[in-house]
Structure 1
Amino acid sequence: MDHLFTVAGRSATPISPTELAAEGLLERQHLQEWVIANPQVLGKSVLVITAEFDRWADSDGVPARDRLDVLGLDATGRLVVVELKRGTADRDVHLQAITYAALVSRFDLDTLAQAHRGFLADRGQALDLDACRQRLLDHVDGEWSPELLQRPRQVIIAADFPKQVPHTVVWLSEMNLDIDLVQVGLWRVEGHLVAGFTKVYPTPEVEEFTLAPARAEAKAEAEARQHPGHNLVGRRPRPRPGQSRPRRVGGTGRDRPCGPRQAAPRCHTQHPEGLDEPARSPRSHTVRALDHVRRRGGRHREPRRPCRRPPRHV
């Protein structure tokens, strides 16, 4: 949101923006709670599973110090990894989000249910593990897909982004990796603080005209590698075994099945005796015309271009 005004009739007074740090607002205690209370800023139909998840451990049982800000689940069954920055994001903030996405890609339904139960218990809601598991299943439209859990969507929320971050995120999105950039703004209006969340990338125009075709082509290429008999997007389908390939008719764009080739009809002339004889080629008529000119001693002229159908002899 670039401009914000207070209006009174015909007058509009611009409001100067402020910053979270200048107003004494913190990342965990304030910005994170705003997102948890209003998950619609993360996308449509997002259920918050947990926040500040830090129970990571390697194969030796050594705990890791990484802390995931917010983890959600959308209605399609994909996880939503959220990274929060109350100020300007770092140049490598997308790498941090990718790291968390790689970590949560190994989660299964039981792991998510346990994390959700702990998240609700910290907020005074007591649910058993089966109830948390069923709550996650009910939130997803359709069947639960473990394959979709391996491709989480990432959302980075910050007050501003350096140029390196959008540049890299655009390229990663073209490589079929979903990352959303959301800018949070803060204004003080008549003694009240007003916060706004603006989706910087991808914009609706980019999603419609740039990202969707690229992802469709990438999906088609992946399917073509799995099924070599299929063609890529935009190509005519290959004929099945025993089926002829359609061909164009007269440049009208319509196709018709191609049957067995038929010989082109030959031109015939009426023989004086009533019999049909094959017509002479155009070259034979040209040679005869030149011989006729030479016999009469006339000037040589370039013969006309012979027509496709020679004149009928009388």
Structure 2
Amino acid sequence: MVYHVNGKGITALNPTSFDALDLTESDIEEWIIDTPSILGEDLLVVASQYAKFDRTAERPDVLALDPDGKLVIIELKRDSADKTTDLQAIKYASYCSTISAEELQQDYRAFWNKRRDEDNLLTPEEVGGRFAEFLGEDIATTEDGYADFVLDDRPRILLAAGSFGPEITTPVVWLEREYGMDITCIELDVHQRDKEVFVSARQVLPIPEAEEYMAKRRQKERQQSRSSSRAERAITVLLEAGLVKEGDIVLFDEESLPDDAEREYDPEDDFWRGRITGKTGRSDNVEWLENGAEYSFTALAQEVLEQATGREFNVNGYPYWLHPEHDISLSELRRSKVGDIDW
């Protein structure tokens, strides 16, 4: 039983069902699109009813991305999960395993632009900035402006339903423990008090004891995968390729400065200059000559823009910093030169 506490009083909330409240799976889907944290984790919703698979009309309810760069296939059932819910989600995961990072961002842009006013549509650069910020890393951009990152090719599965029977929980536990499949089962509970409706979510699988072990196992796999990938952060790639080195000075790109900037651009002014530290961590790639503090290229680009204009920015930093020796941005330098390196 769930209770509502109001001051010193307490009132029981009556358990009910989505069916009894005449709520559909489409309603639940919209809740998750609007507030994905209802499922108990931080997710970036990419699309709903994703319909870009060849030779099939089947559609996952919601497609999302988690902070580790994994696709999340979300399958919803209004009340009890039926006997084929897990198999259905596995099929969707297999369909989605070939999506590239740029395709995912294009789909994100198309989906959200359909829900926005025509005068407020997302650009590729804005989408790339959102993905870079969500993933929490300095990420280079493609020629079109999208974030250039590696999308994990093993999607996660998240099943959300009113309840799960053993015909779902038994194979889910087996698939996770024997084959390392990342499948989460979330039970959605709904209660009512007068005309108010309350929804809560509870993870039933993996159980907390197993979740810690599986989380460590998946983290190890991700670290191994990332360490072997050539698509690292731009600064790491550029340092390893010898195209930049510790101590190199970079300049903020004057052409990237907004028209409403209140500070005059001067390439000799330390405000517009940074020094590459040679470090490859997330937050100490460049020293700002203005104050001697160390930043990521994204954080420093945003700091410079915000101080120059007095308003907030959400950008990917690499296109904003020029390397004087090459006379192009770090983003362009990686894109145009790294491919010529004999690894």
Return the match for 1:38 from 35, 47, 61: 35
Return the match for 2:176 from 160, 165, 173: 173
Point out the more displaced range, 129-138 or 172-181.
Answer: 129-138
Matching residue of 1:56: 53
Return the match for 1:188 from 175, 188, 192: 192
**Correspondence 1:225-304 to 2 at 5 A:** none
Q: Does 1:135 align with 2:130?
A: yes
Kept in 2, the 8 Å contact 1:79–1:149? The answer is: yes
Give the 3 Å change call, closer, same or farther, for CA 145–89 of structure 1 in structure 2: same
Question: Displacement, 1:199?
Answer: 1.1
Return the match for 2:207 from 203, 206, 217: 203
Give the 3 Å change call, closer, same or farther, for CA 160–137 of structure 1 in structure 2: same
Counterpart amino acid of 1:35? I
Which structure 2 residue ranges, 5 or more long, are not aligned? 140-147, 226-343
Return the match for 2:152 from 149, 152, 159: 149
Q: Is the partner of 2:64 in helix, strand or coil? A: strand
Give the 3 Å change call, closer, same or farther, for CA 110–202 of structure 1 in structure 2: same
Counterpart amino acid of 2:51? D
Kept in 2, the 8 Å contact 1:78–1:151? The answer is: yes
Q: Does 1:109 align with 2:104?
A: no
Kept in 2, the 8 Å contact 1:77–1:141? The answer is: no
Matching residue of 1:124: 116
Kept in 2, the 8 Å contact 1:48–1:70? The answer is: yes
Point out the more displaced range, 10-19 or 159-168.
Answer: 10-19
Give the 3 Å change call, closer, same or farther, for CA 212–48 of structure 1 in structure 2: closer
* Higher percent of residues as helix: 2
Return the match for 1:25 from 7, 23, 26: 23
- Taking the aligned partners of 1:179 and 1:51, their CA distance within structure 2 comes to 19
Point out the more displaced range, 13-22 or 65-74.
Answer: 13-22
Return the match for 2:67 from 69, 75, 86: 75
Q: Is the partner of 2:181 in helix, strand or coil? A: coil
- Taking the aligned partners of 1:213 and 1:136, their CA distance within structure 2 comes to 24
Which structure 1 residue ranges, 5 or more long, are not aligned? 59-63, 224-314
- Taking the aligned partners of 1:164 and 1:12, their CA distance within structure 2 comes to 38
% same residue: 31
Question: Displacement, 1:10?
Answer: 7.7
Give the 3 Å change call, closer, same or farther, for CA 16–42 of structure 1 in structure 2: closer
Q: Is the partner of 1:76 in helix, strand or coil? A: coil
Give the 3 Å change call, closer, same or farther, for CA 206–10 of structure 1 in structure 2: farther
Q: Does 1:158 align with 2:161?
A: yes
Q: Is the partner of 2:200 in helix, strand or coil? A: strand
Q: Deviations over 1:243-275 (max 9, x none)?
A: xxxxxxxxxxxxxxxxxxxxxxxxxxxxxxxxx
Give the 3 Å change call, closer, same or farther, for CA 82–130 of structure 1 in structure 2: same
Counterpart amino acid of 1:129? P
Q: Deviations over 1:173-228 (max 9, x none)?
A: 112100110111111113211111111112333312x5357768x96xx99xxxxx
Counterpart amino acid of 2:61? D
Counterpart amino acid of 2:80? T
What CA RMSD, in Å, does the superposition of the two structures yield over aligned residues?
2.7
Kept in 2, the 8 Å contact 1:76–1:141? The answer is: no
- Number of aligned residues: 211
Q: Is the partner of 2:132 in helix, strand or coil? A: helix
Give the 3 Å change call, closer, same or farther, for CA 8–150 of structure 1 in structure 2: closer
